[in-house]
């Protein structure tokens, strides 16, 4: 074969591949999900939280859709993981809300006054020097924030207030179990690689947390953890976080599973490295099954904790959206 013929053949192959890729790209463009995303303000116990609300683009004025609140794990914010998750839900016809807890991400913070409160002026206002309380692992406050997000959705024109679900991951996976067990407005739950507040030395930890509670009440240590309380061990990557142990003594979603009634899907990682999945998500799954609550327990093979966000991300989306579509 002559050199000119070979060159022409190669050019023809390159052109054909290029055309094929263009056709594939155009086909993908046609399948792009069309939605509206807007940042919203959610008030939670007197403090502004900021959320991202995703809605299908071409819904009718009075059309009512089911809605899902996404609950982040340790250090998670609305501008990260939820931006990857939201399109899958909108495509299935859901309104999707992600938010930053108070003191996390873009949301505003509660304040710790540096000095005693000054006199209130005629307008009922005080001017104070204060420190923002940021990045706290504070389960009572974060349950309040989830409830505020649910309340916000109830007021949305296109949301069916009788079909609101919770989807939580990691630390958020435990929070959604607890919240759904105590919040009758929640109709369905997906809990992904959940941490349920269970660990080997829990009894010892409770005793230390109790002593911390006493010291905080007496002003013998920081009233809230600002310098102290950083997670250690396997959680050392989150050194900017602060664990408010004294407020978290009563946090045990496994106990809450005894009163959970709504359809619940638990997704776990076979090679979970941050906790014993059998004592966390697995135990809750067993309780729900024993009580006859509609539930499923899916263990994704071959991955660790973070595999649900990487190699098995698509599987998680299919499982989560399918569960909500079937049960709301």
> pLDDT for 75-87, tens place per residue?
999 999 999 999 9
What is the rounded distance in angstroms from the CA atom of residue 80 to the CA atom of residue 153? 21
The percent of residues in the chain predicted with pLDDT above 90, rounded, is 73
- What length does the chain have? 328
First-to-final CA distance of the chain? 66
- 110-113 and 159-169 as β-strands: parallel, antiparallel, unpaired? unpaired
pLDDT at position 10 over 90? no
Per-domain residue ranges for the chain?
A: 32-112+129-200+254-327
> Among residues 159, 160, 187, which one has the least CA distance to residue 261?
187
Band (248; pLDDT cuts 50, 70, 90): confident
Calculate the average pLDDT of the chain: 89
What is the rounded distance in angstroms from the CA atom of residue 77 to the CA atom of residue 100? 5
What is the rounded distance in angstroms from the CA atom of residue 260 to the CA atom of residue 284? 10
- 27-31, 61-65, 204-208 — most confident range: 61-65
pLDDT at position 32 over 90? no
pLDDT at position 9 over 60? no
pLDDT at position 65 over 90? yes
> pLDDT for 272-299, tens place per residue?
999 999 999 999 999 999 999 999 999 9
- 130-133 and 110-113 as β-strands: parallel, antiparallel, unpaired? antiparallel
* SS3 assignment, position 45: coil
The percent of residues in the chain predicted with pLDDT above 70, rounded, is 88
Candidates 3.40.50.1820, 3.30.300.130, 3.30.1740.10, 3.50.50.60; correct CATH number of 32-112+129-200+254-327?
A: 3.40.50.1820
Q: What's the pLDDT at 73?
A: 96
What is the rounded distance in angstroms from the CA atom of residue 199 to the CA atom of residue 243? 15
Q: What's the pLDDT at 239?
A: 87
> pLDDT for 90-130, tens place per residue?
999 999 999 999 999 999 999 999 899 889 999 999 999 99
pLDDT at position 13 over 60? no
Mean pLDDT across the stretch 229-255? 84
Give the E-state strand segments of the chain in sequence order: 35-44, 47-56, 65-71, 95-99, 110-113, 130-133, 136-137, 159-169, 186-192, 242-243, 264-269, 295-300
Query: Half-sphere exposure of residue 45, counting CA atoms within 13 Å on the CB side?
Result: 14
């Amino acid at each position: 074969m002559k050199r000119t013929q070979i060159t022409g053949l190669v050019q023809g192959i390159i052109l054909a591949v290029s055309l094929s890729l263009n056709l594939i790209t155009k086909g993908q463009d046609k399948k792009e999900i069309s939605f509206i995303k807007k940042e919203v303000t959610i008030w939670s116990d007197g403090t502004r939280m900021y959320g991202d609300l995703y809605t299908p683009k071409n819904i009718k004025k009075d059309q009512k859709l089911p809605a899902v609140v996404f609950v982040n794990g340790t250090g998670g914010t609305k501008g990260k993981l939820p931006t990857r998750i939201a399109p899958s839900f909108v495509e299935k016809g859901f309104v999707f809300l992600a938010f930053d807890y108070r003191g996390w991400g873009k949301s505003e913070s509660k304040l710790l006054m540096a000095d005693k409160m000054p006199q209130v002026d005629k307008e009922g206002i005080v001017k104070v020097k204060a420190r923002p309380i940021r990045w706290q692992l504070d389960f009572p406050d974060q349950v309040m924030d989830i409830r505020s997000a649910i309340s916000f959705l109830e007021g949305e024109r296109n949301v069916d207030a009788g079909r609101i679900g919770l989807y939580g991951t990691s630390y958020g996976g435990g929070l959604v179990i607890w919240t759904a067990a105590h919040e009758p407005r929640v109709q369905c739950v997906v809990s992904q690689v959940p941490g349920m507040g269970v660990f080997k030395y829990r009894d010892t930890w409770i005793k230390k947390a109790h002593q911390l509670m006493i010291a905080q009440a007496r002003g013998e240590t920081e009233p809230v953890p600002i310098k102290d309380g950083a997670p250690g061990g396997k959680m050392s990557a989150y050194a900017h976080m602060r664990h408010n142990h004294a407020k978290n003594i009563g946090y045990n979603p496994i106990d809450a599973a005894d009163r959970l009634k709504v359809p619940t899907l638990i997704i776990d990682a076979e090679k979970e490295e941050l906790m014993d999945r059998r004592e966390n998500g697995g135990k809750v799954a067993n309780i729900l099954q024993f009580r006859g609550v509609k539930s499923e327990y899916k263990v994704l093979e071959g991955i660790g904790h973070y595999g649900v966000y990487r190699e098995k991300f698509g599987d998680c989306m299919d499982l989560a959206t399918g569960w909500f579509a079937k049960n709301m």
